[in-house]
Amino acid sequence: MPIFFWNDNLNVKNRSIDSDHQHLVELLNVVYDAMNQGKGPEVLESVLEELVQYTQAHFKREEDAMQRMHYEGFAAHKEEHDKLTEKVLAMQRKFLAGEVKLSVDLLQFLFDWLFEHIIKIDTQLAQAIKEAKLDAE
């Protein structure tokens, strides 16, 4: 059962960015399900790794698009990505070291971050891509 849901407010109207974001929401649900079903550490490790990898790949895709169009908000946007990436990697390290457990709070934090980031920052990027007539793919 998913606990995180896509809604229209998250739609930035850029096909490739929106599909990445939808997949991130799906992955958060996959991690939640694995956690909720009491899956073993190997499963949790692998679903968490997938989330981490996909997040980084998605950020890189947005950053590449920004660089291609010499986007003026690049530095600030990348800083946001870097901060979240550091947090997620630190969380993963602690999880692998057995110092923290995965929790709904943690996933909720990631979802909230994503939601806010999409609405405040990615929407501007999608608009700029549209104006520059550059595809983010």
Please report, as ranges, the residues that interact with Fe ion according to CB under 5 A: 62, 122
State the nearest-atom distance from the C-beta of 96 to Fe ion, in Å: 26
Q: Which is nearer to Fe ion, 13 or 101 (CB)?
A: 13
Q: Which residues contact 2 (CB under 8 A, 6 or more apart)?
A: 26, 29, 32, 33
Closest CA to 51 of 113, 136, 9: 113
Q: Which is nearer to Fe ion, 44 or 111 (CB)?
A: 111
State the nearest-atom distance from the C-beta of 118 to Fe ion, in Å: 7
C-alpha–C-alpha distance, residues 76 and 98, integer Å: 33
Q: Which is nearer to Fe ion, 35 or 118 (CB)?
A: 118
Q: Which is nearer to Fe ion, 18 or 62 (CB)?
A: 62
State the nearest-atom distance from the C-beta of 60 to Fe ion, in Å: 11
CA dihedral 14, 82, 4, 18 (to 10 degrees): 10
How many CA atoms does the CB half-sphere of 40 hold within 13 Å?
1
State the nearest-atom distance from the C-beta of 133 to Fe ion, in Å: 20
